[in-house]
Amino acid sequence: MFAASVILIVSAALFLFYLQATCQKILAHKFDQAYYLTIADANRLEFPFVRKALEEFRAPVDYPWVCMTLKCDYLALTYLLKNAANAKHTYTREERLLMLYFRAIFFALFTARLLKLAEKPAILKLTEILQHFADIVGERVNQVRFGDLSASDYLITL
């Protein structure tokens, strides 16, 4: 019985480690420009403000407001990922994995709150995930709006 419990705990820990490593690799992807600012402004998302408040100001965390804000932003961005400028109306594997990671971090934030541990790293990680989602939406919208146009397509040869 003891050995089975140890195996279960080690397996769960390895799963969480690989989940985190894979998600960190996905989040390391850099975009051409900061699409998330446009998407956040257009959809009145609050995660950039939450991140700025935590990084620049040393104010205490208003836990209920932050959780509600991040959850609302998550719901809005997952809806946009599925429906805005997405012809397939499905999530990619990476998006699904990041959604699972967001939920795991959100649960860890709740646990940290109960145990009176530092909440700031978890909140910053949640805003990083939301920024990545907003960048994906912005990139898709930009591709649909402008397509794959280049200046050479419109040069008139004389």
- Residues 21-71 pLDDT 10s: 999 999 998 888 889 999 999 999 999 999 998 888 877 778 899 999 999
State pLDDT tens for residues 70-88.
999 999 999 999 887 676 7
Domain presence at residue 65: yes
Q: Note down the domain range covering 121.
A: 14-134
**140: pLDDT confidence band, cut at 50, 70 and 90?**
confident
Number of domains observed in the structure of the chain: 1
pTM of the model: 0.84
pLDDT of residue 3: 92
For residue 45, tell me if it sits in a domain: yes
**Residues 140, 137: Cα–Cα separation, whole Å:** 5
